[in-house]
Amino acid sequence: MIIKLRETLSGARFVLAGKKPWSRGYYTYRKQVLLKALTSKTFNISKLPEGYGHRLDERIVEYPWLFSRLGANPGELLDAGSVLNYDYIISNKTLENKKVTIMTLAPEADCFYEKGVSYIYGDLRNMCFKDDFFDYIVSLSTIEHIGLDNSMIYAKTGEHNENRPETYLAAVAEYKRTLKKGGTLYLSVPYGRYKNHGWFQVFDRAMVAKIIDTFAPASFKESYFQYKPSGWINSDAEAAKECECFDINFSKNYDSDYAAFSRAVVCIELIK
């Protein structure tokens, strides 16, 4: 009860202070908005409500997209990049009957072994799993960091400081190798005008095409989302092709739209 009250006050503080991205109360407020969307019976990720996700980052559309596509069937699920490793996400009912394995570069503060989650640390370009093992692979906002400087945030060692941006395709190939026939990859990347920010890159249309060509899916579906000053909207590849990211680690002042990070993302469902 006390924790819930603290979270309510924290979220309210963020709103009252002007909703400046990443300021005090940001994560709590984002959690509140996400939980409302994920538990609503009327929320439709294909038709976002006006003002949705105002001044929030792309997780606000990526998680609802994922859980709207991920069915209730049991199976082995790989979280490639540790995007599910949060209490309110890992507890989502669509994950209840799935065996979840999280693979990322280094240990994190949160650990949900009591929920049966397994943790593996290593390089997604060279995974230790056997062929045709997973029923599902989730890789949200992850491959844009592969081959770049991951020593800044994700692993505090120099060996993870690279400048090989094209090697994201090796991870895509590994995803296909380790998925069962008929298995599904749920993948997202920041989308728009290409730029290498040093620790991540923005994917343009040609790079998205390379993802699809490398995976060579039996079928796939792309969903585009774009950030506007009023919030997130449904979009398409053409409308979002000039979008740019706000790099929180290097930009001192927010732009007029107060974008928290990506101004567009593409979410791709690929079936092997």
Model confidence over 4-15: pLDDT tens digits?
Answer: 767 777 788 999
Q: Does 61 lie in the same domain as 39?
A: no
The number of folded domains in the chain is 2
Examine residue 174 and state whether it is found in any structural domain, yes or no.
Answer: yes
**Do 223 and 107 belong to one domain?**
yes
Q: Where are the beta strands (DSSP E) in 91-218?
A: 98-104, 118-121, 134-140, 179-190, 195-196, 201-202
Show the domain range for 229.
55-271
Whether residue 112 is contained in a domain is answered as yes
CATH number, residue 131:
3.40.50.150
pLDDT of residue 252: 78
End-to-end CA distance of the chain: 45
Examine residue 182 and state whether it is found in any structural domain, yes or no. yes
Is residue 87 located within the same domain as residue 67? yes
pLDDT tens per residue, range 206-256: 999 999 999 999 999 999 999 999 999 999 999 999 999 999 888 879 999
Mean pLDDT of the chain: 95
Residues 122-154 as b/e (b if ≥16 CB within 10 A, e otherwise) read ebbbebebeeebbbbbbbbbbbbbbbbbbbeeb
- Which pLDDT does position 43 carry in this prediction? 98
Q: Confirm whether 49 is domain-assigned.
A: no
27 and 62 share a domain?
Answer: no
Total residue count of the chain as it appears in this document: 272
pLDDT of 94 reads: 97
Closest C-alpha to 185, from 92, 86, 267: 267
